[in-house]
Structure formats: structure tokens, C-alpha cells
Amino acid sequence: MGIKLDWVFSLKRIGVAYFSGDGILGTLQVLNEIKSGLDSSKIEKRLSQLEDPIGSIHSDVASVSRVLYNALEDRNKAYFYLTNRVFDKYKRPLFMLNKQSYISFNGSAGSSNSEIIMNNPYFIIYAAALSEKNNHMNQLVKIIESSMNGQWLNALIISEQVKLPVQVVNAFFEIYSSKGLGDISKEGYAYKYHVIA
């Protein structure tokens, strides 16, 4: 039985793409290369970059994303410290994720005692998906999509219902809000989302 990814299709339906306009140009270029018979290993690499633009940043991004999600889940905060050993092990992908604005550092960015901040909603959802939270995210999207116009949703309450960290619920609220489907009230660490469409 396959994994249900209804939450992905729901985000796609409201116009959320995990790649920019450059990704569309890249897709066209890959298709042209396929037609011209370019080396299949190069084509496979290019297609994987289009399918997973975050993961293609570095080969250890998936592993470090799971580590970051576990830290977020354990502490129920979007900011935390990693042990020196873990930070040193994933230093390169962490710096690359920082450069792409998927995470940020608070403090001296070169030291292993820098606080890591997960404040990019796309990366938070990506990390949750890698941590096999798809069924929980399906439940979350169902709640958001079935809510009546004018209704206020509370991230803290929904977080408990769907068994996801508040930050994941906040991330979905941010994405829906960025598409003009609602407004966010950022009071404390748990957002409230006002459904308008």
C-alpha cells in the first residue's frame, strides 16, 4: 500500500510549488536533453534535482533534515542547539541550508554552539514529510480545507488533534496565508489562522 500524500496535492492545488520559475526552465531543458539522447545518468541527476530541490543541495540534507525535525519535535520549538558532534557531522549541509534560507543561525555561524532556527515553512514541511508524518499532515490539511470562511483556527489546538508540532501547523498556516486564503495572527509561538477563502 502506497503512502497517501493528499497534503501535497492540496498545496499544489493552491499554487504552491517547491521550485521556482527557474525549475520550469530546467524541466524544459531536461526534456530537450532527453530528446537529444544525452547521457542518462546526467538526465537522472537533473530530474532528481527537480523532484527534490531541497534534498539536491547536499547528499546529507535528508539525514540532517530528519535530525532537525526530531529536535523540533522533542523541544516543540523552532530554535535549538545541536550537540557539537552532530553539528560537526552535518556542518556542510547546515551551512548550505542556511545559505539557501531554509534555516538560520543565531550567534556566530561558524561555531558548533550556534543556535539553529527553523523558520522557513517549506523546509519545516519538507523535514516533517521526511520524518514520515504524511498521515498527520493529511489530517491537518483536511481540517484547514474543510473550515468555514470566517473561522479562526488555533495552531496549538490543532497540533494536539493531529499530533504534529505547533511549528508544522504554523508552517501550513503561513503557506495558506501567503496564497491569500487566510490571515495569520502571530501571538506567541502558536499562530491563529483566519480562514477567508
Classify each residue of 87-124 as buried b or exposed e, where b means 16 or more C-beta atoms within 10 Å of its C-beta: bebbeebbebbbeeebbbeeeeeeeeebebebbbbbbb
Position 20 pLDDT exceeds 50: no
Which fold does the domain 133-195 belong to in CATH? Arc Repressor Mutant, subunit A (1.10.10)
Q: Check residue 50 and give its pLDDT.
A: 57
What's the pLDDT at 188?
85
Q: Tell me how far apart the alpha carbons of residues 110 and 167 are, in angstroms, rounded to a whole number.
A: 26
Amino acid at 140: L
Show the cell assigned to 27.
524541466
38's CB contacts (< 8 A; 6+ apart) are none
Which pLDDT score, from 0 to 100, does residue 133 have? 85
End-to-end CA distance of the chain: 34
Q: What percent of the chain has pLDDT over 90?
A: 61
What average pLDDT does the segment 126-138 reach? 90
Confidence of residue 187 (pLDDT cuts 50, 70, 90): confident
pLDDT digits (tens, 9 = 90+) for 56-88: 899 999 999 999 999 999 998 899 999 999 999
One-letter-per-residue 3-state SS of 13-67: HCCCCCCCHHHHHHHHHHHHHHHHCCCHHHHHHHHHHHHCCCHHHCCCHHHHHHH
- pLDDT at residue 19, rounded to an integer: 46
Residue 21 — pLDDT band, cuts 50, 70, 90? very low
Q: What is the pLDDT of residue 1?
A: 42
The predicted structure's pLDDT at residue 136: 94
Domain ranges of the chain: 21-51, 61-122, 133-195
